[in-house]
Amino acid sequence: MSRVQTQPLLPELAAYKKWRTAAHTLMLGVHSHIVDPTPVSLEALSWYQALMALPVSKTSVLGDPVWDFNEDYPNAAMNVQGAKLRLNFESYPLVNQSAILEVKVALYCWLKMPSALRTFASPRSIKANTALACMKAGLAFLETMSGQARHLLTNEFFEVGYHGLMYFDAGMYRDAARIHSYAFGPNLKKFFTLLRSPFLQEQIFDKPLPYVELEALTWARVAKYVDESERTCRILPNEIFEKASREASFAVVDFLSALGKPVDDLVALTRQNARGCSLATDQGLSTYNFELYVALRLRRNGYDSNAMANALSAAFGYVPADFESDSGRHDFKAVLTLLNLSDANLDNDFRLYINFVSYSACYLVAQYTGMRPSELAEILVESCLEQENDYWLLISNVIKHRQGLTKLFDDKWIAIPIVRDAIRASRLIAKVKQNPYLFSNVDTVAQGAEPTSMASLGIARQFSAFFEEILTDEEFETLKFSPYTLRHTLAYHMARAELGLPFVSHQLKHFGDLVGGAGQNKAFSEVTLGYGAIAEILSKGGRSSSRTPTQMAEEEYILSYCDPDGNYAGPNAEKHKAKMQKVFNGYMAAGYTKEQIITQMAKRRMAIINVGKAFCYGGQREDFDESLPCIGGCVAILIAARMPWLPRYTLLSGGKSTCRTAWH
């Protein structure tokens, strides 16, 4: 019995070393289609048959050439379902059957008794898709080594003489690494770490596998390693974050307003109206034209009259009489005739505009909820919003770590006004696509076809199309983006707003490995520290001379409202700028630069403002007075929360006067 085994081992596994030679003989006969294979004892044959019959999933046993776990994980994320939960051992024909069996047994042990292996940091359980990814990487490398061995030793000798993985020597590893067509990375390293675990060495292999320093080999390809600090800092630059939020918000509220639909984010709508331009107006968007466009999309995609009538009735509650044919057969007009019903050009430009609104809505939901791609893929636009007391919530499904459960926990996110508007716009666009999923292909689903959501790659492509539309060529070319970029960006801005780790952990749905005291708003997940450079931000706070999140926010606020070189609007703009210049000139005359003044103001966790100058929206109180207190004597406390749904305000205090002005 293994020294590391904590529970009784299945007889089929406990006897593996005893019958491994018999198993090799049996598999050699089956694989070579020998009519009268070398005989083995009835005891060995019985053991072999029992081993092959061990269930590994609801639909597969150990002896099957394909292991399928899809039925075991009915609630798996959409980007995991299918091939990621299936392993076809016949895809590696050059690996002999003894090695294949050893890999099968190793995988079986990893899935069924991970704590016995004690190889990885979290031995409690392992998800099938994670384990299969490692196995596929390892089997691909074994395929390369086996191909070389067959070339050098002949197929017959390799099949008969190689009784498993321990027969590959260190030289074979080195030679295979030079020509292996797949990149060396964490999955391949984990595969061999598993095989070299003490449990498998004692229970499965006759002798230890040759130890090879995999990282020291000369690999044909190596997966690009991204340092942890670089990976956690992969967030949208502030200027791109602000531009994306602005353009997406304007596109959504403009779309809803043009169709006469209610808008929750009235601030965004006011700013869009003040902008003086409207994409919806440019495209001739109206309620009638949108209904007509839905009919055109259905007609062009081969919907018959009954299907069109049902879809339009479901979408708008009625079938516009103008769209029906005059023949009296309850048919719909042809495409060209439908086009002539509108004075707008419902052409390719209109299609691209609808796509852009859809991309904008998806960006807003992803950016301001921080959902994982697997959670975004689950959003159904018609049923994803609900109100609890005074709060609107967005409903999806937290799948990570809980794939085997039928109903999961805490699957609700706060839906700020612009997110609710994004969902409202997406409901309308879903009528064009005939697809209930928020993240779905922009093409119309064919009649009778099953609507599907998008996997991570498709989601990333949609975001890429959105950024390509709003950014300059230079900005887009330098943009580093992945499906998790928006999640990191949200975490970063929440940290800058100092919302607290428990809040960030809850928003990102990090519920494992809680750190801190028990109780509401006391504990947070250590995983959260890996997002949005939060760990780096915290490590540089406190007594460090580096900028804290609040200092960064304050500097931005000061530059927005106190920059002596800034541009200001309003009746007091010129006076305000002149006063800023006079104040800054005083400090600069003492030898400080503008940047040093701003940094010093922020480092003190407050914006140092001469209240004698009344920097409250340009109101004048008195001229410059040298007798007024210097820095630290009379201050204005600055609170700058950068999250769009949080109130921001300035509290100016000086002597007997107090000026408090709320702003949005």
Token digits for 101?
A: 């069996």
CA distance 453 to 437: 6
pLDDT of residue 537: 46
Question: Tokens 């991570």 belong to which residue?
Answer: 456
Contact 611, 623 (CB under 8 A): no
Would you state the pLDDT for residue 399? 53
Percent of the chain with pLDDT over 70: 71
Digit-coded pLDDT (tens) for 131-160: 999 999 999 999 999 999 888 888 878 877
| The overall pTM is greater than 0.75 | no
Mean pLDDT of the chain: 75
Domain ranges of the chain: 11-225, 238-469, 485-539, 549-663
Distance CA 593, CA 596 (A): 5
Give pLDDT tens digits for 361-371: 999 999 888 88
Question: How large is the average pLDDT for residues 594-604?
Answer: 74
**Across-strand partners of 514?**
525
Rounded Cα–Cα distance for residues 306 and 652 (Å): 66
- Alpha-carbon distance 423 to 364, whole Å? 9
φ and ψ of 606, to 5 deg: -160, 150
CA distance linking residue 429 with residue 267, whole number of Å? 23
In sequence order, the 6+-apart residues with CB closer than 8 A to the CB of 1 are 9, 14
The letter for the amino acid at 215 is E
Q: Which of 71-80, 392-401, 545-554, 652-661 has the lowest mean pLDDT?
A: 652-661
Confidence at residue 8, expressed as pLDDT on a 0 to 100 scale = 57
Task: Give the model's confidence band at 649: pLDDT under 50 very low, under 70 low, under 90 confident, else very high.
Answer: very low
